[in-house]
A = this chain, B = another copy of it.
Amino acid sequence: MLIVQKYGGSSVADAQCIKRVASRITKNKNEGHEIVVVVSAMGDTTDYLVDLVNEVTENPGEREMDMLLSTGEQVSIALLAMAVKDLGFDSISMTGAQAGIYTDSVHTKARIKEIQCDRLRDELAMGKIIIVAGFQGLNHSGDITTLGRGGSDTTAVALAIALDADICEIFTDVDGVYTADPRIVSEAVKLDTISYDEMLELAHLGAQVLHPRSVELAKINNIPLHVRSSFNLNSGTIVKEVDNMEQAVVVTGIAHDLNVARISLFDVPDKPGIAWKVFQALAEAHINVDMIIQSAMEDNINDISFTIGASDLSIALNLMDSIKNDVGFSRYTWDDSIAKVSIVGAGMATNPGVAARMFGALAKNNINLDMISTSEIKISCTINNNQAVEAVNALHKEFNLDKN
């Protein structure tokens, strides 16, 4: 088998961790597999580099940030390749550029355009274990780019696709994907498999284990992902295409997100292009908008509510002040004491009444719903954030997830 493995920053935090990862890699090699490993920067390297930047300037420029931050992965690939060789195995480290990872030129959040993997194939053919720097690539001008949040996951999946790997293993500090966050739901159960679509929803909804971009990429190219712990040998969660016959379970998992704030605009004129002005302004400020609800109160006038990340709230409020007259709404309110709770399950689409069960379970626990948003395979609602733990536990029980 050709296996692509990805180890995150906590898995290579220090020399001991790096040696443990090396030993694991060589075990897999001894089992007869071809191994390509993607690594992130060691533990807190990135924080250290960002601190240095803050001492130098407030406006570092994105090209120079990429030049700087990409050194973090370069350090870990070199050390990991050394550790693998120390165990008697032939190994070679490669920067993103050397691995042939070409991206667009959007520094700090570049997208992979192409992987030219001639050299990767040559080195694999020589029996080497290849250690590739995650999170980075090269643009057409020869400048170093980084892929932004979840970048190393994306590197791993993209390499697995380019090399036609049999599986892409994502090693992390948890055992896999759970029916809910085990830190707040003691009965949470690790899932053996989950569909790409369900994983995508969970990733978007705040489950930290995989970045949505990498799941998307895996889904489009049908590469199975194995999310597992780097601290034990347990099998984790396989993310793959699951056909409908298998989807007996209505709800697969519960997600929650405490980093949410709501802004509501009142008396927005109901004319074409007005909503666009609001969300265009937010997009230009790089603020992600999640749920949007528009309610027609009376003729020609709407109220619009939307949620954003809580950390973006103050910038967003300044923005609302500056566009208020132009857009023509009368006033706004905001609330950062909310949480988003979601149920996800591919079986939902063919099982009516799931929303009713969800709302009923919350109501029975005296939990008030604020905004509601649905897709084919998920239902999200915002509630008061001090009821989030209660809500997630109630939903976990309602959909029998502890008996998975």
A contact set with B: CB distance below 8 Å: 14-16, 18-19, 49, 52-53, 55-61, 63-65, 67-68, 70-71, 74-75, 77-79, 81-83, 85-86, 92-93, 95, 97-98, 119, 142-144
Question: Known contacts A68-B78, A85-B61: does B143 contact A98 (CB below 8 Å)?
Answer: yes
A195, chain B: closest CB distance, angstroms: 39
**Are B64 and A49 in touch, CB under 8 angstroms?**
no
- Which chain B residues lie closer than 8 Å to A64 at the CB level? 78, 81-82, 85, 93
Contacts of A14 in B (CB 8 A): 55
Say yes or no: B86 contacts A59, CB within 8 Å.
Answer: yes
Known A85-B59, A92-B63, A119-B142: A53·B68 in contact at CB below 8 Å = no
Which of chain B's residues have a CB closer than 8 A to the CB of A70?
Answer: 74
Q: Give complex CA distance A166, B93 in Å.
A: 39
B98 and A75 form a contact (CB under 8 A) = no
14 contacts between A and B (CB under 8 A): A15-B56, A16-B55, A49-B75, A53-B82, A57-B86, A61-B81, A64-B78, A64-B82, A64-B93, A68-B78, A68-B82, A70-B74, A71-B74, A97-B97
State the CA gap A67–B99 with chains docked (Å).
14
Residues of B within 8 A of A81 (CB): 61, 64, 67
The answer to whether A67 touches B85 (Cβ under 8 A) is: no
Apart from A57-B85, A64-B93: 16 A-B pairs, beta carbons within 8 A: A15-B56, A56-B79, A56-B86, A60-B82, A61-B85, A63-B92, A64-B82, A67-B93, A67-B95, A68-B75, A70-B74, A71-B75, A71-B78, A97-B142, A98-B142, A119-B142
State the 10 A-B residue pairs at the shortest beta-carbon distance, nearest first.
A15-B55, A68-B78, A57-B86, A71-B71, A67-B78, A60-B82, A64-B78, A57-B82, A71-B74, A56-B83
> Which residues from chain B contact A57 at a C-beta distance below 8 Å?
82-83, 85-86
Select one of B19, B49, B63 contacting A56, CB under 8 A: B19
* A16 partner residues in chain B, CB cutoff 8 A: 55
- With A15-B55, A56-B19, A98-B143 known as contacts, the answer to whether A77 contacts B67 (CB < 8 A) is yes
Closest residue of chain B to A70, judged by CB?
A: B74
Name the residue of chain B whose CB is nearest to the CB of A60.
B82
Cα distance, A63 to B83, chains bound together (Å): 13
Chain B residues within an 8 Å CB radius of A61: 81-82, 85
| Nearest neighbor of A51 in chain B, beta-carbon distance | B15
Chain B residues whose C-beta falls within 8 Å of the C-beta of A77 in the assembled complex: 67
CB distance from A143 to the nearest CB of B (A): 7
Report whether B59 and A68 are in contact in the complex, using a CB–CB cutoff of 8 Å. Answer: no
Cα of A74 to Cα of B71 in the assembled complex, Å: 7
Bound: A75/B73 CA distance, A: 12
A266 CA to B233 CA in the complex, in Å?
A: 63
User: Shortest distance in angstroms between A57's beta carbon and chain B's nearest beta carbon?
Assistant: 4
Q: In the bound complex, what is the Cα–Cα distance between A92 and B19 (angstroms)?
A: 37
Contact across chains for A68 and B63 when beta carbons are under 8 A apart: no
Q: Is the CB of B79 within 8 A of A52?
A: yes
CA distance A14 to B48 in the complex (A): 13
The distance in angstroms between the C-alpha atoms of A81 and B82, with both chains bound, is: 31
A392 to chain B, nearest CB (A): 41
A376 to chain B, nearest CB (A): 45
Residue among A74, A78, A97 with the highest chain B CB neighbour number at 10 A = A78
Which residues from B are CB-within-8-Å of A53? Answer: 79, 82
B52, B92, B143: which contacts A15 (Cβ < 8 A)? B52
